Structure 1
Amino acid sequence: MASYNLMNITPKLTRFDLSMIVISLVIGMGIFATPGEVAKNSGNTLLYFAAWLFGGFVSWCGALTFAEIGARYPTTGGFYKVFSYCFHPAFAFMINWVLVISNAASVAAVALIGAEYINPVIMPVSLQNAMGIKIMTITSVLVLYIINFIGIKMSARTQNVLTMFKIGMILILCFAVFKGNIHTAYMEMASESSNNLSAFGISLVAVFFTYGGYQQTINFGGDIINPKVNIPKAIFWGMIVVISLYMLMNFTYYSVLGINGLQHKTTLAATLAGVLFGTSGYKIVSLLMFISVMAFINVNIMANPRVYYAMADDGILPARFKHVNQKTQVQEFGLSFFVAAVLIILFFVSSFHKILDYVMFFDTIGLSTAAVTIFILRKKNKHLDAKGIYTISWYPVIPIIFIATYWFVTISIFIENPKAALVCLCAFAIGLIIYFITKKSKPPITIP
């Protein structure tokens, strides 16, 4: 009979494990799809690369900010707990209940991208349609659900293998372009944008979707060995790897397809491989893309139930969400709940583009307000400064750059798609109502 522990999670993940988690949280399938969205929204080469460079810099600022937050407040479900500790449990729930849905939507969106790659390669002609894509996405999510149910170390080992595989695949694609086999059929000039500031703001929506995910690392505070040292180092080096790979990948796309080719292609990596290696290359890379999408789905299935744990610890969710199998360190009910949310979204949404604005409006508000906690933690946890805790070198400039930029993107989404913004704001308000309806007596929040 399974053994359960309602309170404690035993640290089992190393710095290397966490570094691989950081890379996989960020490198989903976005880099293999969103460059097309960025090219369409920017309208020209200069704005295209400016968006990726600026997005990388701002994301680096965000990564440093969350590295210090994670070091100052290392706990399971840290993304929820830090709101609760610095602001109020009601605000923490309002932000996080929506982000849990948003994260499930992100997993669904990435799963759809992966299925779009693999569907034409392995599915019969009769299933090379929306139904076939849904079958493939649901199957891949269920396979990883089973793997994660076995145990967190099994999940971490799977994650390490998939992440190393993905990094290797990206490097092979990028370095193949130096053979000199540069295609020019797509090199026509793209249309110039009439409003560069607006185009830049909307371009950043897809860019930040592609760079996002590192903030979820702080959810593993209770799983990491020596978290006050390993969390900031894993986030820092993980993001250095991510930004380098993204810029290399974008240079490769542009060198082979041009800005116009980027605007008119969806399966970018497979198209790139087709140009470089021919028809067989297209099929092989489509298969590899599908395998790599598993890494992003897997790491989110690992991370998100930890937020449920934190909510249950505050008495907001039922105690069942805190149930941890002592042997496997798996929240079996929380894990099942998150996977069920992903599957429900997949039944109702069939397009990556339809998900993007909603996900990013949630994320920009959630991440920017989470970053504000660094100012509060610095005041509340001054005693940690003398204990060798990680601190940002250019404080407060670094977090201010991150926060201000994310609010610029939030406003850009509101102007471009007010319907999505209003729906998201209503979802936040509903979360606040749910909190006050369901709140129970909560234990005092203490620094771990």
Structure 2
Amino acid sequence: MSIKPKLNRFDLTMIVISLVIGMGIFATPSDVANKAGNVYIFFGAWIFGGLVSLCGALTFAEIGARFPATGGFYKVFSYCYHPAIAFMINWVLVISNAASVAAVALIGADYIKPFLLPANMQNDFGTKIITITSVAILYVINFLGIKMSARTQSVLIIFKMSMIVLICTTVFKSNYVPVETAIVPHSGSLITAFGLSLVAVFFTYGGYQQTINFGGDIINAKTNIPKAVTFGIITVIILYLSINYAYFHILGIGGLQKTPALAAKMIGVIFGATGYKITSIMIFLSVLAYVNVNVLANPRVYYAMAEDGILPPIFKKVNPKTQVQEFGMSFFIAAIIIILFFVAKFSEMLKYVMFFDTIGLSMAAVAIFLLRKKTKHLDGTGIYTIKWFPLVPVIFIISYWFVTINIFITFRENPYAALICLAAYALGLVIYYACTWNKKTQTE
């Protein structure tokens, strides 16, 4: 059955905005400021990151239009490359998703730990206690079969956008005198500082890649997709630049470098200590909602892989009473907790997440060149095609590999980190061939 387009331009615009705006903007500007070391690199990274994200969103929209298959990246990799490559990349992205959830959980911990822990425990150990405990509680709740509704998520994105607007109003706080804080300059060259700044920026702009799932769902795709994606990403860029200007106006680059719980600090400027506490609690609850949705959604990826026979059947086992993938969910939770056990800093977690994501997403973008050859028969049929091809995908691919190289360079400070990342890819190949070999022997 072919996909019938049902989404209009406004629908896709809101989808793009909802996919991109997550929890990162309430924490990552601090990390960007630390890597940038000056105002120009800081704001330059946010502008450049937004434009690259626009290129990525348009690229993935065409991939989705040319290959509108359920299964997203796994199906695309399998069709354009090889099933083994598809499994390896998606296996690593599954690990990356767990690391991403862990990173967001760390954001929540930074906001709430001043109110939950005594002063002598507001360190890495205290952060681990809060994050692991929060994830464990959500695991128990989900194990009982409690689900989050789509309506809750819609309310959440409205809340987040409202909070961004509220934070931006701090620039009009006329009686506030900014505290001058010494700026810690960037280490290394300007190019390195810019590249490392983009790690947190690309994480914050992430989510647009899910436009791959909507390429065949848009009414009048050739016109509506580029306009909706462009307007959506530009809206996000404006919101992100506005909130970062507000951060900079009140705290300065030096203050940004030393303030992890940014949203609470900013609203505290308007509403005082009470506003600071309420905002911290609300951010923490938003983090829990994000983690909870991922705990529900990610095991579905395992289910799809198990259906294709490339993961053991236990991954698609569902409890008939609660409709919970008990083993799949337990595996995902275990991955999050193991990652949190070894890494307790948001900035360190970002390196792992973005190392995996930059490789996976850039390889997915390369697929557009292969798809254009394999699906020439679709040209001129009304599907969306990138106007400035191949410039748009090339900008995206080169930018992401630039960030990958910068992350890899930083791993020289901790060689084991690079080995862990490369071992994750190798493990994916081992699991794929082990599962396919086992499947072959069972059918003989």
Q: Is structure 2 residue 342 aligned with structure 1 residue 351?
A: no
Runs (4+) of structure 1 moved beyond 6 Å? Answer: 13-21, 124-127, 324-330
2:374 partner letter: K
Asked if the contact 1:198/1:412 (under 8 Å) is kept, the reply is yes
**1:332, distance to aligned residue in structure 2 (A):** 5.7
1:33 counterpart residue number: 27
Asked if the contact 1:165/1:292 (under 8 Å) is kept, the reply is no
Scaled by the length of structure 1, what TM-score is found? 0.83
Asked if the contact 1:105/1:359 (under 8 Å) is kept, the reply is yes
**1:398, distance to aligned residue in structure 2 (A):** 0.7
In 2, distance between residues paired with 1:423 and 1:300? Answer: 23
**1:349, distance to aligned residue in structure 2 (A):** 2.7
Moved more, 378-387 or 75-84: 378-387
In 1, distance between residues paired with 2:155 and 2:437? Answer: 42
In 2, distance between residues paired with 1:245 and 1:43? Answer: 22
5+ unaligned residues in a row in structure 2: which ranges? none
Pairs within 5 Å for 1:214-233: 214-216=208-210, 218=212, 221=213, 227=217
1:446 counterpart residue number: none
Q: 1:93 to 1:364 in 2, by over 3 A?
A: same
Query: Can you list the C-alpha shifts for 1:131-177, whole angstroms capped at 9, x where unaligned?
Result: 5544443454356554697587x432221121111111111111232
SS in structure 1 at match of 2:149:
helix
2:360 counterpart residue number: 366
2:171 counterpart residue number: 177
In 1, distance between residues paired with 2:299 and 2:225? Answer: 22
Moved more, 426-435 or 395-404: 426-435
- Paired positions, count: 429
Q: 1:295 to 1:376 in 2, by over 3 A?
A: farther
Asked if the contact 1:177/1:276 (under 8 Å) is kept, the reply is no
2:55 counterpart residue number: 61
Q: Among residues 223, 246, 250, which one is paired with 1:256 in the alignment?
A: 250
Q: Is structure 2 residue 153 aligned with structure 1 residue 156?
A: no
Identity across aligned pairs (percent)?
62
In 1, distance between residues paired with 2:383 and 2:438? Answer: 33
In 1, distance between residues paired with 2:217 and 2:137? Answer: 30
**1:202, distance to aligned residue in structure 2 (A):** 1.3
Q: Is structure 2 residue 436 aligned with structure 1 residue 439?
A: yes
In 1, distance between residues paired with 2:438 and 2:11? Answer: 36
Query: Can you list the C-alpha shifts for 1:32-72, whole angstroms capped at 9, x where unaligned?
Result: 22211211111111111111110111111111111222232
**1:290, distance to aligned residue in structure 2 (A):** 1.0
Asked if the contact 1:38/1:206 (under 8 Å) is kept, the reply is yes
**1:98, distance to aligned residue in structure 2 (A):** 1.3
1:350 partner letter: A
Moved more, 129-138 or 107-116: 129-138
In 1, distance between residues paired with 2:12 and 2:126? Answer: 34
In 2, distance between residues paired with 1:388 and 1:309? Answer: 34
2:155 partner letter: V
In 1, distance between residues paired with 2:268 and 2:368? Answer: 46
2:248 partner letter: Y
Q: 1:297 to 1:388 in 2, by over 3 A?
A: farther
Asked if the contact 1:184/1:257 (under 8 Å) is kept, the reply is yes
Asked if the contact 2:50/2:237 (under 8 Å) is kept, the reply is yes
1:410 counterpart residue number: 404
SS in structure 1 at match of 2:379:
helix
In 2, distance between residues paired with 1:299 and 1:269? Answer: 22
**1:263, distance to aligned residue in structure 2 (A):** 1.4
1:311 counterpart residue number: 305
1:197 counterpart residue number: 191
In 1, distance between residues paired with 2:7 and 2:439? Answer: 32
In 2, distance between residues paired with 1:17 and 1:140? Answer: 33
2:376 counterpart residue number: 382
2:21 partner letter: I
Scaled by the length of structure 2, what TM-score is found? 0.84
Q: Among residues 65, 76, 79, which one is paired with 2:70 in the alignment?
A: 76
In 2, distance between residues paired with 1:19 and 1:142? Answer: 35
Asked if the contact 1:121/1:287 (under 8 Å) is kept, the reply is no
**1:30, distance to aligned residue in structure 2 (A):** 1.9
**1:367, distance to aligned residue in structure 2 (A):** 0.7
Moved more, 431-440 or 316-325: 316-325
In 1, distance between residues paired with 2:42 and 2:169? Answer: 21
2:423 counterpart residue number: 426
